[in-house]
Amino acid sequence: MKYILLFILSFLFAGNLVKDASNKEVPPEEMERIYNEIKTPFKYGVVFKHPDTNKLVDSPTIFRKNKRWYMTYIVFDGKGYETWLSESDDLLNWKPKGKIMSFSENTWDANQKAGYVSLVNTRWEGDYAVEKYQNKYWMTYLGGNTAGYESGTLKIGLATSPVVSKPKIWESNHKPILSPDDDDARWFENKTIYKSLVIRDHKQHTGFPFVMYYNAKGDTARYESIGMAVSRDMIHWKRFGKDPVITKGKGICGDAQIAQIGDIYVLFYFGAFWKPGAFDRFACSYDLIHWTDWNGPDLIAPSEKYDKTYAHKPWVVKWKGVVYHFYNAVGENGRVIALATSKDLLNN
């Protein structure tokens, strides 16, 4: 009897392993279905540029509060990054509201504070609200003290605020939460770290409620890959896994955004220089850990005068039946925020 029970248990265990293994890869027909859901073939054009045309804007994060849309974005003025907030009624017309992270003196992040709001609702066609945790809003940011465009050793900082929709300076944690100098820094991130995204995983696929994706570069791996970290309290972070979750072994894979469509998680990201130019791509997963990369057409690629150099760094939402794909466009207008949509809004 004992051996029979052991046999049954081993069979069930093996069956679960097979099931888990089969679920790690998203099948081609599901990848195609997701592509058809998220594709945005209609380029609407430039929707936002800084009032001071000498300043470059980058990296939109879109969320909604009190029936209005908000976008955080970063501004480069030659010295480094600061973070700003803008507002919209319709996702098309945006007005700048002011700074929410600014330069400081004699700090580890004095000249670089590029912020990305954390805990935005990832549900596709959801409310896109920002979740409060411990009665405050959270933001991770690219930080550093060297002046210039992404110069020096960049690290991930953490900031909080009691409000998310007003142009008030967020409070920094005053020390990095992840650094390429950490003892546990992995081979692909021990040179510098760039943009980060933090989501809430209610199912705790990793065993942790908070998951971070970030792109980084190694001292021997001189290309950018996307890795993971996890946390129980938003303050203390632990690297997850030994290797990147998205990489091409050359060029750049970066600037992740997560959306959940049914039981599939979609990771939007941009690629650059592993083929010509810069462009937006996606990958899919059932567990936030194992990702199946899309092998089909780019979601966004250079095609217009305003994005002829780069069309990259996605933030994608679906609202009232229309998919809005915001991206950083570099071309004849400098570095601006452009939009592509799933329906032709210009001729309807």
The tens digit of pLDDT for each residue in 313-339 reads 999 999 999 999 999 999 999 999 999
pLDDT on residue 221:
86
- Mean of the pLDDT values across residues 90-107? 95
pLDDT: which is higher, 40 or 14? 40
How sure is the predictor about 4, in pLDDT bands with cuts at 50, 70 and 90? very low
Asked if pLDDT for residue 20 goes beyond 60, the answer is no
Which tens digits make up the pLDDT trace of 213-261?
999 999 988 899 999 999 999 999 999 999 999 999 999 999 999 999 9
92 — pLDDT class (breaks 50, 70, 90): very high
**11 pLDDT above the threshold of 70:** no
Residue 23 — very low, low, confident or very high, per pLDDT cuts 50/70/90?
A: low
Three-state SS letters, the chain: CHHHHHHHHHHHHHHHHHHHHHHCCCCHHHHHHHHHHHCCCEEEEEEECCCCCCCEEEEEEEEEECCEEEEEEEEECCCCEEEEEEEECCCCCEEEEEEEECCCCCCCCCCEEEEEECCECCECCCCCCECCECCEEEEEEEEECCCCCCCCCCEEEEEEECCCCCCCCCEECCCCCECCCCCCCCCCCCCEEEEEEEEECCCCCCCCCEEEEEEEECCCCCCEEEEEEEECCCCCEEEECCCCCECCCCCEEEEEEEEEECCEEEEEEEEECCCCCEEEEEEEECCCCCCEECCCCCCECCCCHHHCCEEEEEEEEEECCEEEEEEEEEECCEEEEEEEECCCCCCC
As a whole-number percent, the residues of the chain with pLDDT over 90 amount to: 88
Rounded to an integer, the average pLDDT of 136-161 is: 95
* Cβ neighbours, 10 Å, residue 250: 13
Residue 16 has pLDDT above 70, yes or no: no
Provide the pLDDT confidence category of residue 52 given band limits of 50, 70 and 90.
confident
Dihedral of the alpha carbons of 307, 31, 324, 211, in degrees to the nearest 10: -100
Q: What is the mean pLDDT of the chain?
A: 92
Q: Residue 21 above 80 pLDDT?
A: no
Q: Please tell me the pTM assigned to this model.
A: 0.92
Show me where the domains of the chain are located. Answer: 26-341
* pLDDT for residue 54: 80
> How large is the average pLDDT for residues 8-35?
64
Can you tell me the mean pLDDT for 88-108?
A: 96
pLDDT value at 9 more than 50? no
- Return the CATH number of the domain spanning residue range 26-341: 2.115.10.20
Q: Tell me the mean pLDDT in the region 189-198.
A: 97
Q: Mean pLDDT, to the nearest integer, of 187-207?
A: 97
Q: Is the pLDDT score of 14 beyond 50?
A: no
Mean pLDDT along residues 131-143 = 97
